[in-house]
A and B are shown apart, each in its own frame.
Chain A
Amino acid sequence: MAKGTVWNLANGQRQLAMTPRPATLEKLAKGLGVSLAVVKADAAASAGYEPDSRPVGYGLDREADGLDEASVEAVRTQIRALRRAQGLT
């Protein structure tokens, strides 16, 4: 991928009208050394989509069965506490 493309995508010099192609996202993730999920989330945000922080789950419908943000955040809080307790960064 051209350095100019990476620079434009990474620095947001122009407002993107749509998310980049999947192949571009993959190359960008490889070039930046981050996971594809991170690049996808940032690409979505740059195109005006709210980053989706809902959990992916077994037995969860797409709308997460009406799962509210407070419930998800409560689980996240417990997870963060467990990570700290176990010395995981």
Chain B
Amino acid sequence: MTYDPWAVAGGISSLLIARLQLPKGRSWWLPAEDAIVLDSRLDQAGRRSALAHELIHRERQDTACLCDVTHAKQESRVCSEAARRLISVEALADALLWSGDDYEIAEELWVDLETVRTRINDLTDPEKEDIYQRLWARDEGAA
């Protein structure tokens, strides 16, 4: 089942989702206001990716970090989790069946480029094996 961040956000009555032109960044999670702000210049895939990212910050009750190391860890974990939720291994395999280009895959999967790249970088060995098997099966079928 495809993860739908808009459906998740719609189920949280206290949460405000706003689209504003942000001075920096693609989206913000404002804990004190219980609000997620998406930059108004994002395209549809960008909004979907950013919303998933901020929802995970909200779930984790993250706040801005004082330290570079904890900031990097926090963002890395959230990016990985967002990519995993937004892109199933089946969907990624299907996209890889017809394209090896990250931009095309992102468009096909309705996410931004960073999310695709994070998902590919974070593939586990069993997931890689699954994808190789699917690609191999396609090549065998085409032969």
Contact = CB atoms under 8 A, between A and B. Distances in A.
A41 interface: yes
B28 A56 contact: yes
Contacts of B49: 58
A33 interface: no
Contacts, number: 97
Contact of B24 (A37, A40, A52, A65): A65
A21 interface: no
A36 B65 CA distance: 15
A86 to B, nearest CB: 7
Interface of A: 35-37, 40-41, 49, 52-60, 62, 64-67, 71, 74-76, 78-80, 82-83, 86, 88-89
B16 A83 contact: yes
A54 to B, nearest CB: 4
Contacts of B68: 62
Contacts of A53: 32, 64
Interface stretch (B50-58, B101-109, B123-131, B135-143): B50-58
Interface in B24-46: 24-33, 35, 37
B61 A60 contact: no
B23 A71 contact: yes
A79 B53 contact: no
A80 B20 CA distance: 13
Contact of B28 (A60, A74, A86): A60
A58 B16 contact: no
A88 B63 contact: no
A48 to B, nearest CB: 13
Interface string B85-115: 0000000000000000000000000000000
Nearest to A70: B23
B24 A64 contact: yes
B65 A75 contact: no
B111 to A, nearest CB: 12
Contacts of A86: 16
